Amino acid sequence: MAPAATSGIAALAAPLIRLARRGSLLVATDFDGTLAPVVRDPDRAAPLPEARRALEQLAAHTPVAVISARDLANLASRCRITGALLLGSYGQEPWLQLSSGEPPPAPPRPRPELLQLAQELSAYTARMPGVGVEAKALGVAVHYRNSPEPRRVGPLIRRQVEELCRSHQLQVVRGRQVVEARPFRSGNKGTALRLLLDRLGPRGCVYAGDDLGDLPAMRELHSQRGELELAAAVGVGSSEVNPELVAEADLLLEGPREWAALLAEVAQGTVSATGPAGR
């Protein structure tokens, strides 16, 4: 861990603990690349154990939310964090708070026009090894992380998705070796975070994310600095980190393990002061 990151974590942990002890800190986080390291098979993604434990401890004292581009059913199956609010599809599906042992919801069936788009993109990418098309509740994603030539196929896929989006009247959303087609006015993580803040009314919030889809949440958080005692945007870095994310983040960490370490420190400081039971 770089010295600057170490000092930044130490400086941020103390005010987070103070707010969490009062039950007035919203801990909001992205899933893939933030709580869970990016893996070649998305169906094998899982939160780091230390991050999961810390969030479950915190959720007993202060609000915790996971905001993801995954469908809610997909997110709930991979992110079993008792007490945390789960927001799938950028918060556009109904929010879910799983209790211990509760089964995840059934996967929704995508709309017919999205299934049609998925078929068209599957036909286009059929001869691209390692490229996968995912039809989601509110979008279609093309993943090319497993391609042997991601730098070559990435631009081709982006152009094809953009062309099809024009004919289907959808918008293009880019991410880390993924391109997604989504309906216009379908919201984003900034919209989801604003709704969380309005509904929960915390005095402070920390949001962590690793990709372009997290920028709206970071910008929304920064726009509310005048209303909050603390508004901290944490960037979770990687070899693929986007310069826009670096510029927007108040603190840049090296990866999910540093985010898990910060969460563990805040959880330990909160639980030691308030005890193991709820708020």
Q: What pLDDT shows up at residue 2?
A: 47
Asked if the model's pLDDT at residue 138 lies above 60, the reply is yes
Q: Where are the beta strands (DSSP E) in 127-250?
A: 132-136, 139-143, 170-175, 178-183, 204-209, 230-236
Q: What pLDDT shows up at residue 6?
A: 58
Which CATH architecture describes the domain 3-104+187-274? 3-Layer(aba) Sandwich (3.40)
- pTM, to two decimals: 0.89
Q: pLDDT band at residue 274, thresholds of 50, 70 and 90? A: low
Q: Which residue has the higher pLDDT, 79 or 277?
A: 79
Residue 46 contacts by C-beta under 8 Å, 6 or more apart in sequence? 36, 78
Provide the CATH number for the domain formed by 112-183 in this structure: 3.30.70.1020
**What mean pLDDT comes out for the span 189-208?**
97
Q: What pLDDT shows up at residue 98?
A: 79
Share of the chain above pLDDT 90, in %: 78
Q: What pLDDT shows up at residue 61?
A: 97
Q: What pLDDT shows up at residue 7?
A: 62
**What mean pLDDT comes out for the span 75-82?**
93
Compute CA distances 79 → 48, 70, 89, 272, whole Å.
10, 11, 14, 25
The domain spans of the chain are: 3-104+187-274, 112-183
Tell me the pLDDT of the chain averaged across its residues: 92
Q: pLDDT band at residue 3, thresholds of 50, 70 and 90? A: very low
Q: What pLDDT shows up at residue 97?
A: 92
Q: pLDDT band at residue 108, thresholds of 50, 70 and 90? A: confident
Q: What pLDDT shows up at residue 160?
A: 96
**Cα first-last separation, the chain:** 33
**What mean pLDDT comes out for the span 121-150?**
94
Q: What pLDDT shows up at residue 223?
A: 97
Asked if the model's pLDDT at residue 137 lies above 90, the reply is no
Asked if the model's pLDDT at residue 279 lies above 50, the reply is no
Query: For the residues of 110-145, what is the DSSP string, one character each?
Result: PPHHHHHHHHHHHHHTTTSTT-EEEEETTEEEEE-T
Q: What pLDDT shows up at residue 276?
A: 55
Share of the chain above pLDDT 70, in %: 94
Q: What pLDDT shows up at residue 104?
A: 76
Q: Is 41 a catalytic site residue?
A: no
**What mean pLDDT comes out for the span 29-56?**
95
Q: What pLDDT shows up at residue 185?
A: 80
**What mean pLDDT comes out for the span 163-190?**
91
CA dist., res. 96 & res. 73, Å (int): 10
